[in-house]
Chain A
Amino acid sequence: MRMSDLIARLMSERRALVWLGVAALAIICIAILVTRIEIDSDVINMLPKGFRSVDGLKIFDRDFEQTRELTFALRCQPQDVDKLEEFAPQFADNLRKQPWCERVLAGSPMETPEGIRDLQTIAVPLLLNLEPAAFDQAISILQPDKIRERLHRMRLEIEAGSPRPQFELGFDPLGVISPAFKPFAAASAIEQEQPLTSPDRTMRLFLVVTNQPSLSAFDCQRLMRQVNAFRAEAVQGWGGGHLDVLVTGRSAYVSEISLSMRYDIVATLGSSVVLVGLVFFIGFRRWIPLFGMGFALLLSCLVALAVGLLVFGRLSMLAIGFCAILVGLGVDFAILIFGRYQQARIDGEEYQHSIATSVAKLGRAVFFGALTTAVGFLALALSGSMGFSQLGVLIAIGIFFAGLFMCTILFLFIRPEQPPQQHDWVFDIVKKYVRWSVKRPGPMLTFSVVLFVALSAVGFSPVPPLRFEASVRSLEPRNSRASQALQAIMAKMPTRWEPVLAIVRARDAQELHDDWQKISAHWSELQKAGKLKGFSTPAALCLSPNWMEENRQSLGKVDLQTARQTLEQTLDTEGFTRDAFSVAFRLLDDLQAVANPAAPLPDWRKQLPKGAGWWFLVDRYFAKDPLLTTGFATTTAPVTTHEQSEELGRELPVTGVPMILSGWSYALADLQPWSHRQLLIISALMAIFDVSLLAVLYRDFRLWLIQVITLGFGIGAMIATMKLFGIHLNLLNVLSFRLVLAIGVDYGIYVVLVWQKTRELEHDVAGVIKPVILAGLTAVAGFGSLGWAHNPSLSGLGIACAIGIFWSLVATIFFTLPAMAAAKPKIWNESGSSQAI
């Protein structure tokens, strides 16, 4: 028994059994879904694997405290700047009282007495950590003569009216703190360029480290619910005009992205089902088969999702877009199969026989259609991006099941007693067009060639250029409040471009110190040579046990008791108050304590108070593991090209120091060749696969050539449309080209195969053109539905594919058909038969 007959028999005689099987399959899939579903919402996981710059982003994202940082911004009207200044401390106090808040930075720690006091507490370890020659020079100020000379001069300068001695004595009364912090101040120069108040004073920033247990989607959502409740009440006590309370940061993004996933699923799948259903209904005006088609498609999605979960364990948020695509593509099979079934019924065949005919006649086309589409999507696995690989595999699985279900389960929803459609106005219009273009292909061929050549000329010419957007913004969610807050902050604050991150992990403290010393020295040379604008490293905070021991021995030789006596005497002589110098006496006590070789070496990490604002700076450099660190190199211009990233890759590393260069701008520049490779090589491979398959299928040079030209026209018109509508390529929507090639070729296959074998033009060609149009429109609707998604990767891919498939469909109907009629003419016979000329 033929497969088509077996299917027809099962669907007509064993319906209960098939229903049981369908129910069992659905229950198994739902059980897998409920028990194993886990969604990966990390945007970094959409980037391809195997790039150190991407690995660096993941390390920075996972291991550094900065990822738990939220940035609050208060933005007022220009006339309220003084009120904002007055309100800011109140707002900061309110922030500190929030249960989710661990630390708040409301201004430079150097501008507050607490900030200076906190810095003074870590002076001793940083002093001991100086390079021994620098330490000896710094400590020499404790010689009695130098103490007397310094304070005398300070006294005279105060008398002369200088404000400097007051600042200096307030921060460093003994004269050893400033040298201790010199390397630290030099290393954190970049940070000083980032004030927390905008130049026009209408915006104030507050950095907050939260105490959320993890960066998981649910923890971020929970945190942001609390943060939003705080925002609603945070303006109480504000007496000015409109005041914006903006929030951005990793948690804000994760919360929004994860919440938008729900919207994306509902919006894309919902709109896809509605649009596809609408097209199907217009084509066939049947409700129950429409419902059956939807059921079969949802079952395909369910099966693909369950298999995907079993294969991958955890699904990327990007993969959720597969449902909408699958609906748009899978419906093609339903349209073809149901259309052929209808035709068989109109031709007078019985129910079971009509099923067998439709499966027998179109099973091959469905198989090849599913094959090319699946291969196109499986080619996404070559992208190296986990998100896109999963998307490709899920659709490939889904499309095969969709083909299978449309050839089987769909018939459960087609009643044997349902009479065939008598009048089909869509078919009538299509038939008229087919008749006209077959009889007189010249006019339509001329028109379509002119149109497509013009569009292809625009598409493939360098002018206007198709812009490639490699910025981080191209990957940010649309209408995101966190993104808008970031944009508002960037617009107000003095902007500087994102630095390149250099991530260094060491085995012990000494190695870490030595590594950063070498890096700092090397980067300093690069800065002098004009290759770097600036840099900032944790070198000063990486303690060297070797230097500290050596310096401790030097300190042991200093007579600290005499230094103390001299200080006391000089203060009295010069008329200074002793209270103002309490820090100096405490520092001498601390130095005396650490000079003892039996005492443990001091560690600034243990001495810096937990609530100190300086932790914001420290956390930029050190991960939770203190041996994992990062430095920041600011380039002379923003990193936007791969050449820049390559040059930095050559210049920044130091021999013998393992270093990962990263940062969003750097990583995206680093990925550009990958993206171009995806665009050119993988799309070219797909094109080669397509043209080879077509050659095998058609075994006719002229038909093959027409089909290849059709594909070229489709892609050319797609690029032209993207150029004319200002749709830029980005790292991810370049993947759309292979999909357009994979899906667009199907329409040609359906039409050309029928043209080759038909003996009844009206019956067969018009009969296939109608389903092809419907299938194309449903595919456009399916991909176009992704345009509703908030996820820019998903919406960008969907829009690009929808444009490409639309033009492939137009090219098939208005170029392929008249071109075939011109190249391989057949006589139109009103009675239905045709013959080759």
Chain B
Amino acid sequence: MRSPFLFVLMVLASLAQAQSLSQADVKNLLAQIRERRASAPNVRADFQEQKTIHLLNKPIVSSGKLWFRAPNKFRREVGGNSPSLTVSNGRDLWIYYPNFKSAEHYSLGKRSPVDAIIAAINTALNLENVENTFQISGTKAGGGYELHLLPRSPSMKRMFQRFDLRLNSDFVAERTEMVQPDGDQILTIYSNQSRAPIPESTFEFTPPAGTEVTSPLGR
């Protein structure tokens, strides 16, 4: 696990070589990303996450693997002392906790608070339609790009205060920093990105036998 200090160094190093992008450049960049996504909609990556929430005194640090298929399917496996598995097939979202043998089930797209999870992943790995929902500025840094997204639509404002994103030369996210309206922050570093095909079964989940299933938002 890399330390936060290393993150800061990386950011500073990138900024040192930063070159501002005009609005036309941003548009052009997003067009290239769209093309790339169309040809290769799958992304697989390892991630490290640092979450700072107002309920807790200290940040929570976790790591794991992520599989994503545009526009809205993903699988996220978190390891460590508190492992979890999050799977979305675009309609339902499952969060499974092996330690507790319990699973939470959420229906997506009904103005559910868990839509923020999808929106965050979608924004980071897909960048679909971001120009309509965010005000975007950016810089070219090294071989990649730094994008700063400020939410424009009310629905995005409910989920994000701001969203910063670093892309590599293959237009895959390397690092994201999300600040939520209540001040909670999530910093994620991605590595070992790949656009190899992902089997459909990756995005399906069936709770193992004996799992206690709940629907916390119960709609």
Contacts and interface: CB of A to CB of B under 8 A. Distances in A.
Interface of A: 82, 85-86, 88, 111, 153, 155-169, 192, 575-577, 579-580
Contacts, number: 77
Contacts of A88: 154
Sorted from nearest, which 10 A-B pairs have the closest CB atoms? A160-B84, A159-B82, A85-B154, A164-B216, A160-B82, A82-B153, A580-B55, A575-B57, A161-B84, A86-B154
Contact of B113 (A153, A163, A579): A163
Given A85-B155, A163-B113, A164-B216, A158 B86 contact: no
B113 A167 contact: yes
Contacts of B217: 167
Nearest to A88: B154
Contacts of B58: 575
Contacts of A157: 82, 97, 100
Interface of B: 53-58, 60, 62, 76, 78, 81-84, 86, 95, 97, 99-100, 104, 111, 113-114, 116-117, 132-133, 152-155, 214, 216-217, 219
Most-contacted residue by chain A among B55, B57, B155 (CB, 10 A): B55
Given A85-B153, A577-B57, A161 B62 contact: yes
A155 B99 CA distance: 13
A580 B183 CA distance: 13
A194 to B, nearest CB: 13
B117 A162 contact: no
Nearest to A153: B100
A161 B155 contact: no
A159 B153 contact: no
B216 A156 contact: no
Contacts of B117: 163
B75 to A, nearest CB: 13
B101 to A, nearest CB: 12
Contact of B97 (A155, A160, A163, A166): A160
25 contacts: A82-B133, A82-B152, A82-B153, A82-B154, A85-B154, A153-B100, A156-B100, A157-B82, A159-B62, A160-B95, A160-B97, A160-B99, A162-B84, A162-B104, A163-B95, A163-B114, A163-B117, A163-B216, A166-B53, A166-B55, A192-B219, A575-B57, A575-B58, A576-B55, A580-B55
Nearest to A173: B55
A580 B155 contact: no
Most-contacted residue by chain B among A85, A161, A580 (CB, 10 A): A161
Contact of A158 (B53, B100, B114, B154): B53
Given A166-B55, A167-B113, A576-B55, A159 B155 contact: no
B103 to A, nearest CB: 10
A167 B153 CA distance: 23
A175 to B, nearest CB: 14
Contacts of B219: 192
A156 B56 CA distance: 12
Contacts of B84: 160-162
A158 B97 contact: no
Contacts of B214: 164
A577 B100 CA distance: 24
A491 to B, nearest CB: 21
B92 to A, nearest CB: 15
A100 to B, nearest CB: 27
A82 B152 CA distance: 9
A158 B55 CA distance: 10
Nearest to B49: A161
Nearest to A156: B82
Given A82-B155, A576-B55, A580-B55, A160 B83 contact: yes
Contacts of B55: 158, 165-166, 169, 576-577, 580
A576 B155 contact: no
Contacts of A580: 54-55
A576 to B, nearest CB: 6
Nearest to A580: B55
Nearest to B218: A185
A158 B99 CA distance: 13
B60 A159 contact: yes
A168 B113 CA distance: 12
Contacts of B78: 160-161
Contact of A162 (B54, B62, B97, B155): B97
Nearest to B58: A575
